[in-house]
Amino acid sequence: MSDAAEDLVCRLEKLQSRFTWDLKEEDLELDDLSNQLQHDIDLKLGQRGAVAHYYRFLAYVRYLQGKPDEALSLLSQSEEETRECYGEDCERRLIVTYGDMAWLKYHTGDSTQSQSYCQRVEDILEKNPADSPSDLLPEVYGEKAWTFLKFSMSYYNKAIECSLRALKLQPDDWEWNNCYAIALFRTEPSPVQSDLKQHPEESPATTQLRRALELTPNDGVLLSLLALKLLHYHKYKEADGLVKKALEVGSRDPQVIYRVAEYYYKRHQLDQAIDLLKGALERNSRSAFNHHRLAECYRKKQRELFPKKPRPEKELQRLRSLSIYHLEETIKLRKGFNHAKADLALQYAEDSNRRRARELFNEVLETLEEESGNIYQFICRCYAEFCQYHTTDSEKDLAITYYKKALKCNSCNSEGKYCAKKLKQIAERRLDRDSGDATAYGILGAVAKVEGHLRGAVRYYERAQERDVGNAEYLSELCELRLNLN
């Protein structure tokens, strides 16, 4: 490499750009994200400056898809949108755009233009220095935050960090407040109801959503997110009002539709959710998230009908078929959507198509350990049900293994409580057949331990160990429990 080429690479590596932010391509569903961004651009969704950001992000996606010329064109459109939107104040908001352009020109072999864009960034920074050498400009922190938020859930914590750094420099900026609110919403776990009784104050995400809405009161996404948060605090009247307003101001925004449908789903207003999602899919049939949410609505309607006597088999089959159809559409659009695959597999098993069910479960189990907490738990629960109800006797012990995995992941949420209930039922049935069943006592010990009943867990494991002397698992659990109780 020549000295001039080395100098250019050195300049490029100092730029703030999506090419220098360690964004990993494997974290993306490129086709799905591309469709989503293009749809948002076509409808000009979002607040001021959002479309320019969509162009920039789509340019990076196009580069990853091997379409650099299209990426360059999109960056030019982003620059034009930014200048039109911000006028004389646009320069600081072009730092990342020019950084991306410099890298793209370099990758397409145009070193002269690459150097030119490097120089543009350096000139802007010279005219607009940061407060300290260790700081970036708030506009750059903000662009990083929105990019991390849009890129993948594995980058949400980085989005929070960048939002906070932007807010430290500009605490009243609506963009940074909005980004921080959405990032908190996506990362904050749902509160446990027992904790809410002792600590009824609203969560940090709820507080930040209120703060962001003070600055942008007609943001449909924020309105719908706050409504979802208020469900935890049983503030139904306020939440209903927020949802109504969200639909008034964001009826064309797919994010608003998705979140409002989620709200209706959680409020058990399934017909409203279904009507909303069907209308959205008529406008854009390539939304994986809307297909998935619609499938969940049909699934929930099945559960509501299931205990009825006599059971309405034709209606159950109709709802299952609709749910399967929309889940198949979901995984066509997002091939790595393993949450949907596990649900689809279980429904195929219930539909007596065990071959397709096994095929899908084999796919999701291959990458199970890479999944995040709630998705990991959901997949384990689905596979446990499959093993319990739809396999041969030789495989039924796998149900115990996977119910335990799901329970250990989170014992307090609905999935965890369901798995605890199933494990207790399995243990009780085994004890009805054989009062000396060591495995049954081991199951009850595992459930008691996860639920925090340590003395009860010791008693169960002692009974298990008495009936299966030398079992390494029971001995290990007893040692750990006794140490914790001392």
Burial class for 434, CB neighbours closer than 10 Å (0-12, 13-18, 19+): exposed
Last residue of a domain, one of 80, 104, 129: 129
Domain boundary among 69, 95, 129: 129
CATH number at 104 reads 1.25.40.10
Helix, strand or coil, per DSSP, at residue 51: helix
The number of angstroms, rounded, from the C-alpha of 33 to the middle of its chain's C-alpha atoms is 14
H helices of 236-283, where? 236-249, 254-266, 270-283
- Side-chain-side CA neighbours of residue 46 (13 Å): 21
Predicted pLDDT of residue 194: 47
Q: Is residue 452 part of a domain?
A: yes
Write 47-55 long-range contacts (CB < 8 A, 24+). Answer: 47/174, 47/175, 47/178, 47/216, 47/219, 48/85, 49/82, 49/85, 49/86, 49/93, 49/175, 51/81, 52/78, 52/81, 52/82, 52/85, 52/93, 53/78, 53/143, 53/146, 55/81
The answer to whether 348 and 356 are in contact (CB under 8 A) is yes
Task: Determine contact, residues 97/49, Cβ cutoff 8 Å.
Answer: no
Question: Does 311 map to a domain?
Answer: no
Classify residue 402: in a domain, yes or no.
Answer: no
CB-facing half-sphere around the CA of 486: CA atoms within 13 A:
6
- Can you give the pLDDT at residue 395? 85
In a domain, 171, yes or no: no
Instruction: Please give the single-letter amino acid code of residue 471.
Output: N
Distance CA 360, CA 354 (A): 10
List Cβ neighbours of 329 (8 Å cut-off, separation of 6 or more): 285, 288, 291
Sign of CA dihedral 263, 267, 271, 274: positive
The predicted model scores a pTM of 0.88
Alpha-carbon torsion, ordered 288, 294, 295, 301, to 10 deg:
170
DSSP 3-state of 307: coil
How many helices (H) and strands (E) would you count in the chain? 25, 0
- Quote the domain boundaries for residue 79: 3-129
Is there a contact between 422 and 452 (Cβ–Cβ < 8 Å)? no
The residue out of 129, 157, 179 marking a domain boundary is 129
Residue 39's pLDDT is what?
A: 78
Residue 412 falls within a domain, yes or no? no
CA-CA distance, 304 to 274, in Å (whole number)?
Answer: 15
- pLDDT given at position 373: 84
pLDDT confidence of residue 331: 94
For residue 283, what pLDDT is reported?
87
Helix axes 220-231 and 174-187, enclosed angle (nearest 10): 40
Asked if residue 457 lies in contact with residue 448, where contact means CB atoms within 8 angstroms, the answer is yes
Domain count along the chain: 2
Amino acid, single-letter form, for residue 152: S
Q: What is the DSSP string of 123-167?
A: HHHHHS--SSTT---HHHHHHHHHHHHHH-GGGHHHHHHHHHHHH
Q: How far apart are CA 294 and CA 321, in angstroms?
A: 12
Q: Per the domain annotation, does 8 fall within a domain?
A: yes
pLDDT tens across the length of the chain (486 residues): 677 788 999 999 999 999 999 998 776 777 778 888 887 888 777 778 888 999 999 999 999 999 999 999 999 999 999 999 998 889 999 999 999 999 999 999 999 999 999 999 999 999 999 988 889 999 999 999 999 998 888 899 999 999 999 999 999 999 999 999 999 999 998 776 545 555 568 999 999 999 999 999 999 999 999 999 999 999 999 999 999 999 999 988 888 999 999 999 999 999 999 999 999 999 888 888 899 999 999 999 999 988 888 889 999 999 999 999 999 999 998 888 999 999 999 999 999 999 999 999 999 999 999 888 889 999 999 999 999 999 988 888 999 999 999 999 988 888 999 999 999 999 999 999 999 999 999 999 999 999 999 999 999 999 999 999 889 999 999 999 988 887
44 belongs to a structural domain: yes
Q: Alpha-carbon distance 101 to 192, whole Å?
A: 47
In a domain, 108, yes or no: yes
> Which stretches of 284-413 are DSSP H helices?
288-305, 313-333, 338-350, 354-366, 373-390, 397-409
CB contact at 8 A, 142 and 180: no
